[in-house]
């Protein structure tokens, strides 16, 4: 009888230990967040997108009850930050920023990049985005994207485009061909967009680097370069005054500041990806309930009036899309970009 009592006690202790072990992860997840959350970004000092990311995560941290602090990891065309996010602990205390550069352009233009933006990350929220206006020097005589592409085919590498490089890292200077390894800032998206345009059409253009968007735009107005990609609101006054010619706009619809300018799709360039966007991701395998709370806090922060106003003043549009819509956007942009490069004969060298 005494032996049976001892056996029952051992079984009871074992069961309780198993229950405690099973309950520990759940309790830990329920207690999350218990300390500050790190946010890895690829932007360098002074980058506009980096400032907006800080505004978003500051408010999201307030909603979660723990501060979120930003850690800049510029370099290698966003690869440094992207790898740091992918390899971070999967406990919800490290998330990061993934934009169209690291999610679309780099994987499409660099087959050796080593990551899948959909399979190797937990997507949290698509934050904000901006379409481009493609503007040109009116003295060149181009009126449409077809005119620009034809000129880039006839004289490969002769026509220059402005590239605003406002971040630290490699890639400063001038040159032609792919920019997949250059810089870390928003300018990278426009440079890589031109790479996809070249791969699609066979045209070849030469890149000229400027330290910021204002100087890049002035170089275009002065005639130093032939064309540039820029925020529609920024170039609309120059288009109206005749100082620049708008050849087209990216995106599915015409844009308010340039309603008279046709989209690229309207002009027959249907395979090109859209503009630039910034999203938030976590390492793969983050607990579902933690990912859901992160996503909710980030999207709620993006919809906060003062955060929204700051983003819109910088020329972006708030998206605040949940993970499934974010994944659909990445999937669609990847498909269009890969198809464009494939049909165009490959990446320009």
Residue 182 pLDDT greater than 90, yes or no: no
Q: What is the structure's pLDDT at 10?
A: 56
Q: What is the structure's pLDDT at 219?
A: 93
d(CA 139, CA 150): 16
How much of the chain exceeds pLDDT 70, in percent? 83
Residue 16 pLDDT greater than 70, yes or no: no
Task: Identify whether the C-beta of residue 60 lies closer than 8 Å to the C-beta of residue 298.
Answer: yes
Per-residue pLDDT of 133-175, as tens digits, reads 999 999 999 999 999 999 999 999 999 999 876 433 333 333 3
Task: Identify whether the C-beta of residue 239 lies closer than 8 Å to the C-beta of residue 130.
Answer: no
d(CA 276, CA 246): 18
Per-residue pLDDT of 87-115, as tens digits, reads 999 999 999 999 998 999 888 878 888 89
Q: What is the structure's pLDDT at 344?
A: 58
Beta-carbon neighbour count of residue 204 at 10 Å?
17
pLDDT band at 128 (very low <50, low <70, confident <90, very high): very high
d(CA 82, CA 225): 32
pTM of structure: 0.74
Q: What is the structure's pLDDT at 13?
A: 47
Per-residue pLDDT of 188-220, as tens digits, reads 678 778 888 888 889 999 999 887 778 889 999
Q: What is the structure's pLDDT at 309?
A: 93
Q: What is the structure's pLDDT at 290?
A: 98
Q: What is the structure's pLDDT at 169?
A: 33
Here the tokens at position 308 are 């929204």
Between 208 and 45, residue with greater pLDDT: 208
Q: What is the DSSP string of 47-111?
A: -HHHHHHHHHHHHHHHHHTS-EEEEE---GGGHHHHHHHHTS-SSSSEEEEEEHIIIIIHHHH-T
Mean pLDDT of 249-274: 85
Between 316 and 142, residue with greater pLDDT: 142
Q: What is the structure's pLDDT at 14?
A: 52
- Mean of per-residue pLDDT scores for the chain: 83
Here the tokens at position 90 are 């999967």
């Amino acid at each position: 009888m005494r032996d049976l009592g001892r056996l029952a006690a051992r079984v009871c202790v074992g069961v309780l230990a198993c229950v405690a072990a099973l309950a520990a992860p759940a309790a830990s997840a329920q207690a999350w967040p218990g300390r500050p959350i790190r946010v890895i970004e690829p932007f360098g000092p002074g980058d506009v997108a980096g400032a907006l990311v800080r505004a978003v995560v500051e408010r999201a941290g307030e909603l979660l009850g723990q501060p979120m602090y930003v850690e800049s990891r510029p370099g290698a065309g966003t690869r440094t930050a992207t790898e740091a996010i992918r390899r971070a602990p999967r406990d919800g205390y490290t998330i990061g920023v993934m934009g169209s550069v690291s999610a679309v352009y780099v994987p499409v233009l660099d087959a050796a990049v080593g990551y899948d933006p959909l399979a190797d990350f937990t997507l949290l929220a698509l934050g904000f985005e901006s379409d481009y206006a493609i503007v040109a020097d009116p003295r060149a005589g181009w009126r449409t994207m077809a005119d620009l592409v034809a000129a880039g085919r006839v004289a490969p590498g002769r026509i220059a485009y402005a590239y605003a490089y406002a971040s630290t890292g490699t890639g400063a200077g001038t040159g032609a061909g792919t920019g997949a390894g250059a810089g870390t800032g928003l300018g990278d998206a426009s440079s890589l967009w031109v790479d996809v345009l070249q791969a699609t059409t066979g045209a070849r253009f030469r890149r000229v680097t400027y330290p910021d968007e204002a100087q890049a735009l002035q170089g275009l107005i002065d005639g130093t370069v032939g064309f540039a990609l820029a925020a529609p609101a920024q170039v609309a006054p120059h288009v109206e005054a005749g100082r620049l010619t708008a050849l087209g706009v990216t995106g599915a619809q015409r844009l308010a500041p340039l309603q008279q300018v046709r989209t690229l799709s309207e002009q027959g360039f249907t395979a090109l990806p859209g503009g630039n966007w910034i999203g938030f991701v976590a390492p793969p395998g983050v607990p579902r309930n933690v990912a859901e709370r992160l996503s909710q806090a980030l999207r709620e922060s993006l919809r906060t009036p003062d955060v929204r106003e700051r983003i819109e003043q910088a020329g972006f549009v708030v998206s605040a899309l949940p993970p499934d819509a974010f994944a659909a956007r990445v999937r669609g942009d990847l498909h269009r970009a890969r198809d464009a490069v494939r049909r165009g004969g490959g990446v320009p060298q």
